[in-house]
Structure 1
Amino acid sequence: MSERATPGALPALVQPMQAATVSGDPPQGGDWVVEVAWTGHRCIAYVQPGKRVRLLSGGDNSMSAAYPELTEPLLRRSPPGGLVLDGTLVARGEEHAVRPRLLKRRSARHRPSDATIRRIPVDFQVADLLWLDGHSTMELPYADRRALLDGLGFASPPVWTTSPLPATELETMLAIADQKGADGLHARHLRGRYHPGGRSRFWLRVPVKRTRQVLVGGWTPADLRRPESVGALLLGAPAGEQLHYVGRVGVSVEQRRQLAARLAARAPAESPFAASLPADAARHAVWAAPELVGLAEFTGWIGGARMRRPLWRGLVAPDAVRNDLWARPPEPAAAPAGPEEAAPAASPEPEPGPGAPSAVEARRLEQHFFYNALNTIGSLIRSDPARARELLDDFAGVSRAADHTGPSTLGRELEAVREYLRLEQARFGKRLQVAVDVAPGLDAVPVASLRLVSAVRDAVQQGVEPRPDGGLLTLTARPVAGGCEVRITGGPESDTTVILPS
């Protein structure tokens, strides 16, 4: 398409290139990089200084009016000859729980109000550069396109560049994607060209295969004349006293015989699920008391509540059940209205229990930290690869802490605090000094998950980051009657005291 365009003229349309699905082992050579593939809306941005910004979907539908906040930052970074960028629109905060409904609430509004933009902020994550200042870049190798893209300086919301890392870190990146709820990674070869509307073996999608515990809440018969025969299992995820439907999965002939015998004695008259199942799943359902625990492998969530491509991996012995392995759909369905893969109705966030973090803390670490951390790690890959690897391990540790639910301990929280601070010190350099002083014997004191990490994050943001010369962050913990007192200070206007357990 660009060959016929007038020299220097911004192309009217670029068909987005698609990633090919990896077959066999994913690439891990030195010529490959990987990045998280977030759930969102594919977007090609056409930036013409002095004229306009057009945002087109993967199907070439205009999305410009739905995201007006992207216009100014795109124009500000554009050279006179314009830009064409390829990326993804993502509802901010989805890096910790993929919630497609947030983005749907924005994209469903033709011209959102300022209040809606503030309530549901959206970021444009730019992954590739297709046109720069009057010239096509699509024939350049990916490494060159990426260097030009990084030079444009899209490093703050609402427009970010993505953060690819060497494929040698594939396993760590897959673990991070699993923790964050993303469905996969994008692997790109450094020599790969951009093929509009096509695919290439130099751009691959690597799915995240996650295995989680589920409860069997029923089945659909293999033979409708024999309701006791097992064809597919109806799976649920526990949420408090409720059981949320997360999908159905077929089982082998041998597994059917074994399961039929165990499920026959567990057949209540009513559904154990908290909400009605999709019509095609409920039509011939036979219910089971949710007592059998099994493992399901899947690649992601459909609509935030249904497992994508589930595979049954067998039952779990009662003494092998782990509380940290339960499937946790980002958006448990309250009342699905259509086929099994239709988007579920939204459900409220769970109320925090005693000692839980505040509403702000419950949002976990925001997207700014995520991208700042990966960009810092990426900048060290060539200059100090050993330190980059250490920081990637720290980032994985903070991610695990952010996704941990339930009670924690002071010792576990302090380890996450140290990992977080090492990442921030790598970014701020000498501007962030740290002093941690914890009295011995306090590691087992109970604390709500992420309570201290969030308080330290606030201290960095409010007390250190705004000051040109930075500052000193201090954390002290001392025993008091029945627990301990933790004081976190980031400067004169940032001083927090937490009494544990609270």
Structure 2
Amino acid sequence: MPASRSAVPAPMLAMPGRPPIGTGWAVEMKWDGARTVAVCDGERCRLYSRNSKDVSGVYPELTLALSAVSRGRPMVVDGEIVAPDPRSGAPVFARLQSRIHVAKPTAALIRTIPVEFYAFDLLALDGAPTTRLPYLERRRRLVDLSMSGPLVRTPPHWVGTDTKILLDLARDHGLEGIVCKRTDSVYQPGRRSPAWIKTALRKSTEAVIAGWLPGTGVHRATFGSLVLGAHDDDGRLVHIGNLGTGFTTAGRRALWERLDELERPSDPFDVIPPAPVVRAARWAEPVLVGDVEYREFTGDSLRHPSWKGLRPDKEPDEILVPPLP
């Protein structure tokens, strides 16, 4: 039987920041994929997204691969589903977009866009929770499980290695950055904890799509740019800028079709956005979350934002205003 949503641990989250100074930290690479918890009951494995939705049918090949490497032992594993670039091997979220929305992928799609599961934490083993164990002990037990196969990997972690060297290594291999974790930290499901610190080489954030500005020219039939929002410290949905680049033609069309269905007569913001936006925008129910790269956040808007894709694994209510430089 599939696990109930309440029985699936919410992943522990990292806080953004610079790599910490001092001892007592381990470092992992930051993977550009979809955070996923694998729950294996001894007979089969099921996959759950960051918001505890069952996505086993989206990645049937991974459920089989995880069942094989778990060797019949009940376990709960935290990890990331990635779609590696066929040339560099680096995970590319844009490739994963071709899989993440397909509830029942065809054999052809599975062959064309192969995915892998990267396991990096152990939350339970043989029916006993491991979340109260320190990080290094959880990692030791995970490594001892030898969870490796054609579609499953346990990526390395480093202790005592200069974070600058590891950031350079991430940059050289086209990865997102690094995540530093306290070696003595327990696993705190659903909490964004300072015991884990993520350092991105490229700034990225999630944003709520609140509407769009009409397109012109070649984009006349769809939209020119998206109107983005996020929640401030008081929980209010506020405007954080507009975004018009980074879309493929097909991606723009597909997103437009969804926005057209979500149109509403008034803006969804709790704080009135800038007047030029109010005058020109058409509004949408704030239910879609997008992944965005940007140069910097000024406090009022994102500079040079670029679209990466939709994030169905993120809930609009949890999307926060990005930190200031």
TM-score w.r.t. length of structure 1:
0.40
Per the alignment, residue 140 of structure 1 pairs with 133
Tell me which amino acid in the other structure corresponds to 1:151.
Answer: D
Pick aligned residue for 2:142 from 134, 139, 149: 149
Whose Rg is larger?
A: 1
**2:182 is the counterpart of 1:185:** no
Matching of residue 86 in structure 1 with residue 78 in structure 2 = yes
The residue aligned with 2:263 is none
User: Equivalents in 2 of 1:12, 1:156: separation in Å?
Assistant: 27
Match for residue 100 of structure 1 among 93, 98, 101: 93
Structure holding more helix per residue: 1
Contact 2:33 2:92 in 1 (8 A): no
Q: Aligned partners of 1:29 and 1:48: how far apart in 2?
A: 40
* Residues 79 and 133 in structure 1, CA contact (< 8 A), matched pair in contact too: no
Q: Is the 8 A contact 1:29 1:168 kept in 2?
A: no
2:161 is paired with a residue whose SS is helix
Residue identity in the other structure for 1:120: I
Residue 60 (structure 1) aligns with: 52
Output one character per residue of 1:386-428: Cα deviation in whole Å (capped at 9) or x when no partner.
xxxxxxxxxxxxxxxxxxxxxxxxxxxxxxxxxxxxxxxxxxx
Q: Is the 8 A contact 1:87 1:126 kept in 2?
A: yes
SS of the residue 1:104 aligns to: helix
Whether the 8 Å CA contact 1:41–1:88 is kept in 2: the answer is yes
Candidates 195, 201, 207, aligned match of 1:208: 201
Contact 1:47 1:83 in 2 (8 A): yes
Equivalent of residue 20 in structure 1, options 15, 21, 26: 15
Please tell me whether the aligned partners of residues 143 and 190 of structure 1 are also in contact (alpha carbons under 8 angstroms): yes
User: Aligned equivalents of 1:342 and 1:207: distance in 2?
Assistant: 17
- Contact kept in structure 1, 2:36 and 2:47, CA below 8 Å: yes
Q: Do the aligned residues in 2 keep the contact of 1:28 with 1:168 (CA within 8 Å)?
A: no
SS of the aligned residue for 1:162 comes to coil
Q: Distance in 1 between matches of 2:152 and 2:119?
A: 7
Greater CA deviation, 176-185 or 101-110?
A: 176-185
Choose the corresponding residue for 1:32, options 25, 28, 39.
Answer: 25
* 1:469 corresponds to: none
Structure 1: distance between partners of 2:72 and 2:106: 30
Amino acid at match of 1:76: A
Q: Confirm whether residue 197 of structure 1 aligns to residue 183 of structure 2.
A: no
CA apart distance, 1:140 = 0.4
Does the 8 Å contact 2:143/2:154 carry over to 1? yes
Alpha-carbon contact 1:40-1:103 (below 8 Å) kept: yes
Relative to structure 1, the CA distance from residue 110 to residue 132 in structure 2 (aligned partners, 3 Å threshold; closer, same or farther) is: same
**Counterpart residue identity of residue 75, structure 1:** S
SS at match of 2:181: strand
**Matches of 2:305 and 2:26 in 1, distance apart?**
35
Q: What secondary structure, in the 3-state scheme, does the structure 2 residue paired with 1:168 have?
A: coil
Task: Rate the CA distance shift 1:30–1:101 in 2: closer, same or farther, 3 A.
Answer: same
Amino acid at match of 1:208: L
Q: Report deviation, 1:49.
A: 1.9
**SS of match in other structure, 2:192:** coil
Secondary structure of the structure 2 residue equivalent to 1:116: helix
1:100/1:209 CA distance change after superposition, 3 Å: closer
Aligned length: 220
Are the structure 2 counterparts of residues 183 and 167 from structure 1 closer, same or farther at C-alpha, using a change threshold of 3 Å? farther
CA pair 132-97 structure 1, distance change in 2 beyond 3 A? closer
Please report the RMSD computed on the Cα atoms of aligned residues, expressed in angstroms: 3.4
How many percent of aligned residue pairs carry the same amino acid? Answer: 33
Structure of higher RCO (CA pairs closer than 8 Å, 6+ residues apart): 2
Q: Quick check: 2:27–2:159 contact (8 Å CA) kept in 1?
A: yes
Unpaired stretches in structure 1, ≥5 consecutive residues = 6-10, 211-274, 285-301, 313-338, 345-502
- Check the 8 A contact 1:84/1:131 in 2, yes or no: yes
Cα distance change on mapping 1:343 and 1:31 into 2, 3 Å: closer
Task: Tell me if the contact between 1:85 and 1:128 (Cα under 8 Å) persists in the aligned partners.
Answer: yes
Consecutive unaligned residues of structure 2, counting only runs of 5 or more, are 204-247, 253-275, 278-289, 299-303, 310-325
Q: Given the superposition, is the C-alpha separation of residues 307 and 167 from structure 1 closer, same or farther in structure 2, using an over 3 Å criterion? A: farther
- Secondary structure in 2 matching 1:204: strand
Q: 2:65 aligns with which of 46, 60, 73?
A: 73
